[in-house]
Amino acid sequence: MTEENETIELYNLNYSDLIALSSPDHKSQHSSKNTEYLQSVMNTIMKNLGPSGPGLLAVTGVPDASDLRQTLLPMARKLALLNNDDRKRVLKDHGLGSDVPLKNVDRTVSPFAMQLKYNRDLDVSSICNVNYLGINGCGSDDGSLSEFKNLGNVFKELGNCMIDVGLRLARVCDKVIGGHELEESLLESCSAKGRLIHYHSVLDNLILQALNATASKSKSAKKTSSNQSDLWQQWHYDYGVFTILTDPMFMFASESNGVSLSCDGKECPSPSGHTYLQILDPNKNSVVKVKASSGSFIVQVGESADILSKGKLRATLHSVCRPKNLENLSRETFVVFLQPAWSKTLSLYDFSMQSLSLNDEYSRNHDEENQCQNPSSDIGKLVPPLCDRLKDGMTFAEFSRETTKQYYGSSGLQTKR
């Protein structure tokens, strides 16, 4: 994959407009001129999240989000490069875990996850009520780990802001689609997964190998270099309702004599000006790099939203590419996955078969008279067809298990590292 691909700058939805649109009877609360403006904003939201758009947008101006991001994201690399015993202690203190083997020194990502709970009876306007705790958080009294003492608090605070954005956006989409299917599916769940993610540089893996003394420096360097690909994360669809992401932070680590054992890195701008998130744009049949405003939240549509909206929203096929010839550059981000309740039944009745996405082209025809077509591109071959993963009447839990199995199982199409 080359780095000269086309880029797309995401539509910026201002948080104040999202608040206005998600308020009950928003039309009656505003002047006709303002109502006309908000209707235009709503149409633009649906255009960007629907079949004719990229399936993404950015939300700007969320109170305190930038400060929380600036505090949380640098912790991702430091956590990833901690020795195993200290990292276990920090994660336990703050109620975090991981879904990849953190003892694998050749891993390309280090995710740190937590379930985020919210109350369905809680008004959406009060979820993102940030009470930034600064340095007064709880955690280890160990001086060497004191920089993580507010990890759990900031993780939850930023997660709550993102949940608020997702719930509001679901309400807005429901107003256009009709009914309350999207918002209700999230309120029935009352749970989201937050994930702080460090995308490793080549240097990071050398540091891990040196810290773990798994091989000589020469062997480590050779092994790490041979394991690198042009992707930090393989092509996939998210299968929840919405995925909310911070715009990424990039960290540059200096080295001495080829290897640095320091866990400190210096924040730097994106070398290319984009996020290194890339999507397959089905309308252009091409890979497009995503640009987002600094401090914004990126919102992606997942497959459950596509199904629940009967094709009026479109899931985004995406991956994360890594920069070439920048072995000291790492990427940090924070993600919240909003999903239906595990018991939610996914119905294919009246589901649109006209979607333009790559996955739809070969996997969304559920007529018994037709069969799934085989994907014709290399990207398509990495994505298990939706019709192989979802059957009418499946619960979200069943769909989740089958999707994970077909992506990452023993005979899956991708490797989970």
Mean pLDDT in residue range 202-206: 92
User: Which residues are paired to 127 by β-bridges?
Assistant: none
What is 27-59 written as a DSSP string?
A: GGGS-HHHHHHHHHHHHHHHHHHSTTS-SEEEE
Task: Please write the tens of the pLDDT for every residue from 62-87.
Answer: 999 999 999 999 999 999 999 999 99
Tokens 């202690």 appear where? 89
Going through 209-353 in order, the beta strands assigned E by DSSP cover 231-237, 242-246, 249-252, 266-268, 277-281, 286-291, 297-301, 317-321, 329-338
What three-state secondary structure class fits 129? coil
Least confident of 38-42, 101-105, 106-110, 274-278: 101-105
Residue 278 has pLDDT above 80, yes or no: yes
What's the pLDDT at 128?
63
Residue 267 has pLDDT above 70, yes or no: yes
What's the pLDDT at 136?
39
Write down the mean pLDDT value for the chain.
Answer: 84
Write the single-letter amino acid at 112.
Answer: F
What's the pLDDT at 28?
59
φ and ψ at residue 321, rounded to 5 degrees: -90, 160
Task: Please write the tens of the pLDDT for every residue from 371-396.
Answer: 343 333 578 778 899 989 999 999 99
User: What pLDDT band is residue 192 in, cutting at 50, 70 and 90?
Assistant: very high
What's the pLDDT at 363?
38
Residue 411 has pLDDT above 70, yes or no: no
User: What pLDDT band is residue 348 in, cutting at 50, 70 and 90?
Assistant: confident
Mean pLDDT in residue range 184-194: 97
What's the pLDDT at 25?
72
**Domains, the chain, ranges and CATH?**
6-345 (2.60.120.330)
Q: Residues near 307 by Cβ (< 8 Å), separated by ≥ 6?
A: 346, 347, 348, 351, 390
Write the single-letter amino acid at 119.
Answer: N
Task: Please write the tens of the pLDDT for every residue from 5-23.
Answer: 799 999 999 999 999 999 9
Residue 92 has pLDDT above 70, yes or no: yes
**Which has more pLDDT, 401 or 414?**
401
Cα separation values, 30 from 23, 26, 36, Å: 11, 7, 9
CB atoms within 10 A of CB 53: 21
Write the single-letter amino acid at 7.
Answer: T
Least confident of 176-185, 307-316, 360-369: 360-369
Most confident of 248-257, 277-286, 305-314: 305-314
